[in-house]
Amino acid sequence: MNQKARVGLFKILVLATSSVFVVWWLYINIVLRSPDHNNINNQIFGATYGIISLFGGLAGLVASKKWGGRKSLVGRALMFFAIGLLAQEFGQITYSYYTYVSKIAIPYPSIGDIGYFGSVLFYIYAAWQLAKAAGIKFSFKDRSKKIIATILPLILLTASYLFFLRNYQFDFSSLKASLAVFLDFGYPLGQAGYIAIALMTYLLSKNLLGGIMKKKILFVLFALLIQYIADFTFLNAAKTGSPFPAGANDLMYLIAYTVMALALNSFRVFSIPHKTEESAAGTNSATGEV
């Protein structure tokens, strides 16, 4: 089986698995509609759909190797998006451990936050590497784009602060409480950070970026946007009430993991028609695959 076929097969695996989870989610929320949001169906859904992020993480690591791993900008970007996805899965497994094995309410902060907050940091670093690969530094020659690069992150950080943290009650009474304060700020501001970099990359490089990589990079930026919507949905649910397993937030995360997994998988293969001696004479062409 050649590389292109393997990549295609993986895409089908991700889409088929995600579809099963979407149907299951619809069954839970439309057919069952149990008033007990913590029933076994919801719990098992919440504990298992993260497998998509595991798939995506593994695909991202394979793709990263092809692009030079930590030695190149694209390789590092793919590697850290993949690690971000794996960190999300770590968070999910840890939360499930609290629920099923320890049988306790999920503490905050907890070991799971290493995965969830870690993924935010990994995404920020990965998005920055991708922004550099997409050549945002060449856009800085333009003064108006320099202004966009300065103002956009400030707007997003301020908006996140006002939406999630206005009138925040600080509590530094213990180490645990202080850690909670750090995470309460870290999650929304960190998430605003990676989406700011993604939007900046799009706005600053859309006229310069081209070739066969354009679609792939835009796909990753789109995946980051969906991830941000999922994170926003979750934080908003946490602010206004309590997010529950198999709720709207889990559906959003399922979609976000799926889109990111597909985006990273798309970097495992690309084709450029290379002119052979014959094709230079207008008779033939060969396709190169990586």
Provide, rounded to whole angstroms, the least separation between the CB of residue 213 and another protein.
5
Asked if residue 159 binds another protein (CB under 8 A), the reply is no
Q: How many CB atoms lie within 10 A of CB 276?
A: 12
Provide, rounded to whole angstroms, the least separation between the CB of residue 226 and another protein.
24
Provide, rounded to whole angstroms, the least separation between the CB of residue 241 and another protein.
45
Of 239 and 275, which has the nearer Cβ to another protein? Answer: 275
Q: Residue 257: name the closest of 123, 141, 166, 121 by CA.
A: 123
Provide, rounded to whole angstroms, the least separation between the CB of residue 175 and another protein.
42
Asked if residue 138 binds another protein (CB under 8 A), the reply is yes
Asked if residue 135 binds another protein (CB under 8 A), the reply is yes
Query: Which residues, 190 to 209, sit near another protein by CB under 8 A?
Result: 205, 207-209
Contact at 8 Å (CB) between 72 and 267?
A: no
Size of the site for another protein (CB under 8 A): 29
Of 154 and 208, which has the nearer Cβ to another protein? Answer: 208
Contact at 8 Å (CB) between 268 and 7?
A: yes
Our measurement of the distance from residue 144's CA atom to the centroid of its chain's CA atoms, rounded to an integer in Å, reads 29
Query: Which residues, 24 to 83, sit near another protein by CB under 8 A?
Result: 66-69, 71-75
Half-sphere exposure of 67 (CA within 13 A, CB side): 27
DSSP state of 101: I
Burial zone of 98 (CB within 10 Å; 0-12 exposed, 13-18 middle, 19+ buried) = middle
Contact residues: another protein, CB under 8 A: 66-69, 71-75, 133-135, 138, 205, 207-214, 272, 274-275, 277, 280, 288, 290
